[in-house]
Structure 1
Amino acid sequence: MASDIPDISLNNGISIPQVGLGVFQIPPDQTRAATALAIELGYRHIDTAQLYGNEAGVGEAVRESGIDRSEFFVTSKLNNGAHAYADALAAFDQTLATLDIGYLDLFLIHWPLPTIGDFVETWRAMEEIYRGGKVRAIGVSNFQTHHLDRILTECTIVPAVNQIEVNPHLTNEKVRSYDVEHGIATEAWSPIARGRVLDEPAIVAIAQRVGRSPAQVTLRWHVQRGDIIFPKSVHAVRLRENLELFDFELTDDDLAAISALNRDQRTGPDPDAFARLPS
């Protein structure tokens, strides 16, 4: 199954599987088992974060899998309270120690937090981390175009990835287009809008016609648009279903009908306003 998942080439030449497992909101004591199940089903791309508190479980599952480390693509993200230059360096070292898998494939600034600090300083720390050789790529998460403008103007390394909320209710075309223009891959979190899009008549009708679930149709919409996705589940049936996206296609009319559901409606915070630090 892993061999069926296409890779996306990032701007520094490394490849990332287009579909992976997200472990957001999986409790730490369940993460190892959920990740191990996903690995057994063919997942090789796993997305975690310092803020989730479950990096250790991801690392355990990878180490215990018996599969060579090079077969995996593991992402984590910088915690919101570690944006100062020295704090970011130390936080990355802690993630390496917690995961205990030798190196990291992708490290992201989780939120820009523009109202409480200077994310440009944070990005310069990310550049130093990248130059240290213990991470294969660096990127950002939840960055708007004006945040990216500052990174591209004031810093040296173009982010490899921008992980943003994207789904049929929030197509986020302005940021996605900016990413394409500047060679930044778009990763879509909340790809089914926490289930809110699954009852949309347009999606249900397409699902009935192609013989797939509304979730699969929505995820296929992402895939055909070029998004990298990592839906979360701890259930074998859904984990398997979320990989079965590459033996059917949506028509151009299908893609347009799903995109037309856009409401510019978020399920998560506004990146320009979000400033809550973790406790």
Structure 2
Amino acid sequence: MENSILQETTTLANGVEMPVFGLGVWKSSNAEAAKSVQTAIKNGYRLIDTAKQYGNQPGVGYGIQQALKDNHLNRKDLFITTKVFNGDQGYEKTLAAFEEQLKQLRLTYLDLLLIHWPVDGKYVDTWHALEKLYHEGKVRAIGISNFNEEKIQDLLAAGTVMPQVNQMEFNPLIQQTSLFQYMNGIGMAMEAWGPLGGGEALSNPAVEKIAQAHGKSVAQVILRFDYQMGAITIPKSAHEERIIANSEIADFALTEAEVKAIKALNQEKHSIWYPAFAWHKGSETTGVKDTVSSWDDVDEYLNKAVQ
């Protein structure tokens, strides 16, 4: 039976059709990312999300090309997203970094390019660079990640293109209620990172009860909740059975009472957020370090031939 979630798309503000469900590869090595991408595409996934910060763009690029060949697909069948690394922000640096990212991903264009975080004093110039790439046709859609309402308004005031997507932490424990309402009001799509909410959400008794009622896993119930709330969802997994199971959420729906019960779990508590980053605080000794993840297999996947 065709998996309707994997076939379903949402229309972005610029008219581009984006799949509503896909694969994320955060904290995956290049080998893990390559295998996950190939497995996901083989099983019907079409949206793949990565970032320079993850350090696995070469693996993702290899996985894409191998999957296209193995499954007799065309590039236009996929929707590929990556993000501008914080250390690359600024107008000229963003443009230069983009070309290197395309090379690592083995692509000639991107479907979606996001500003990964709103770096102080740079995110508006970075946005102008994204607008240039968009107008040149090198990117089909442009957007942001981890932007709050104030910073979105900065871009709306300074730019000529509205961000089509904002990728935010979203799951039962952090539902971004106010921001989500604001984005809905201006026609900006919400994409969820961390869509499962980690151990606290996955072991919640209320969600476990709902899962039992539907004969589904807790993860499937949470992903169904994200979907019903209108968030584009990109769960990560390196295991084929879980990649398949994550997408099997089209054959049930949460009732109003069940949605209400999950909404009641909202804490609006970020696992990480803007003020915690060292580059924001101006200190190299405090906060969350902002570096590209380093994997021993980067060079191997930069040069690995598609079989």
TM-score (normalizing by structure 1): 0.95
Matched-pair identity in %:
41
Q: 1:101 to 1:3 in 2, by over 3 A?
A: farther
The answer on 1:177 being equivalent to 2:181 is: yes
Structure 1 residue 94 corresponds to structure 2 residue 96 = no
- Aligned partner of 2:91 in structure 1 is 85
- For 2:62, the equivalent position in structure 1 comes to 60
CA distance in 2 between partners of 1:4 and 1:259 (Å): 22
Equivalent in 184, 205, 209 of residue 205 of structure 1? 209
Structure 1 residues 2 and 17: alpha-carbon distance in aligned structure 2, compared to 1, 3 A threshold: farther
Equivalent position SS for 2:203: coil
Task: Note if 1:271 corresponds to 2:277.
Answer: no
Partner of 2:260: 256
Q: State whether residues 168 and 259 of structure 1, in contact with CA within 8 Å, keep that contact through their aligned partners in structure 2.
A: yes
The equivalent residue for 2:75 is 69
Unaligned 5+ runs, structure 2? 280-288, 293-307
Residues 11-22 of structure 1 mapped to structure 2, 5 A cutoff: 11-22=13-24
| Matches for 1:107-146 after TM superposition, within 5 Å | 107-114=113-120, 117-146=121-150
- The separation in 2 between residues aligned to 1:78 and 1:109, in whole angstroms, is 5
- 1:188 and 1:4 map into 2 onto residues whose CA distance is 15
For 2:131 and 2:276, locate their aligned partners in 1 and report how far apart those are by CA, in whole Å. 25
Q: Quick one: distance in 2 between partners of 1:232 and 1:73? A: 16
- The change in CA–CA distance for 1:129 and 1:2 in structure 2 (over 3 A counts) is farther
Secondary structure of 1:140 counterpart: strand
- Whole-angstrom distance in 2 between the partners of 1:56 and 1:122: 23
| Cα distance in 2, alignment partners of residues 122 and 272 from structure 1 | 19
Ranges of 4+ aligned residues in structure 1 off by more than 4 Å: 1-4
CA distance in 2, matches of 1:47, 1:151: 23
Q: Please report how far the alpha carbon of residue 4 of structure 1 lies from its aligned counterpart in structure 2 after TM superposition.
A: 4.3
Amino acid aligned to 1:112: P
Q: Alpha-carbon deviation of 1:2?
A: 5.6
- 1:41 aligned residue: 43
- 2:5 and 2:21 in contact (8 A); partners too: no
Contact 1:160 1:185 in 2 (8 A): yes
Amino acid at match of 2:85: N
Say whether residues 1:191 and 2:204 are aligned partners.
Answer: no
- Distance in 2, Cα, partners of 1:255 & 1:74: 30
Residues paired across the two proteins, number: 276
SS in 1 for 2:150: helix
Separation in 1 of the partners of 2:186 and 2:243?
32
Q: Which amino acid is the alignment partner of residue 137 of structure 1?
A: A
Q: How much is the aligned-residue C-alpha RMSD, in angstroms?
A: 1.3
Which secondary structure does the structure 1 equivalent of 2:119 belong to?
coil
SS, match of residue 117 in structure 2: coil
The CA distance in 1 between the partners of 2:136 and 2:3, in whole Å, is 30
Q: What TM-score, normalized by structure 2, do the two folds share?
A: 0.87
Report how far residue 186 of structure 1 moved.
0.2
Amino acid at match of 2:210: I
Q: Could you tell me how far 1:178 is from its partner in structure 2?
A: 1.2
Q: Which residue of 2 aligns with 1:233?
A: 237
